[in-house]
Amino acid sequence: MFMKKIYAYPAIIASLIIILILGYRCWFNPVTTIILVRHAEKAPGNNPPLTEDGHRRAGALAHALSSTGVQAIFVSEFLRTQQTADSLAILLGLNPQIIPAADITQLTGRILTDFAGKSVLVAGHSNTVPDIIEALGIPSPPPIPENEFDNMFMVHRPRFGPARLTHLKYALHLCDCE
C-alpha cells in the first residue's frame, strides 16, 4: 500500500505541472489576430476612390468580419483604404486609425502594444500587406497580384511562440438581391 502512494505522487505532481503550463499558456499568452486586406477595387487616378465594385467588396468585407470581434481598424492615408474599411467601421462603431502606408514599424508596434490579445483589421495595399505580414513574423508571405482584391490574410500572433498565417478569399457579391 505504501509503495502505491509513492508512485502516485509523481503522477499527481506531473499532472499539476501540465495543468499549470496549459493554464499559463492560455491565460498569459493571448493571441493577437491581425486581419489584413488589400483595398477594394479603385478608380484610376491619383488617390482615387473605390469603384462601384469596390464599394460592394467593402460591404462584403464588413459582412464577413461583422462577428469576428475586431476592436480596431487601421488604414493608410489613401482614400481607397479608408473607403474599404468604412462599412465595417460604421457597423462596429469604430474610428479607423490612419497610419502612413510606408510606416510599417509604427503600425505593427501599435497593434502589438495597444491591441495585444485582440483582433484588428488592417486595410493596406498590394505592396504593403506582404511587408506587414512579414513584420508580424511570417517569413516569405505570398505576394498580392495587382489585379486581385479578394485576399484576406489572418496573422495569429501569440505573445510567446511562432506566428501563424491563414490565407482566405472573400466574395465580391453576397447575393443578387438588387
Per residue in 151-176, pLDDT tens? Answer: 999 999 998 889 999 999 998 754 45
C-alpha to C-alpha distance for 162 and 122, rounded to whole angstroms: 20
Which 3 state secondary structure label does DSSP give 97? strand
C-alpha to C-alpha distance for 37 and 54, rounded to whole angstroms: 13
**pTM exceeds 0.85 for this model:** no
Superfamily of domain 30-169: Phosphoglycerate mutase-like (3.40.50.1240)
Domain range list for the chain: 30-169
Per residue in 40-98, pLDDT tens? Answer: 999 999 999 999 999 999 999 999 999 999 999 999 999 999 999 999 999 999 999 99
Of the two residues 53 and 21, the one the predictor is more confident about is 53
What is the average per-residue pLDDT within 124-148? 97
pLDDT bin (cut points 50, 70, 90) of residue 35 is very high
Find cell 467588396 and name the residue.
57
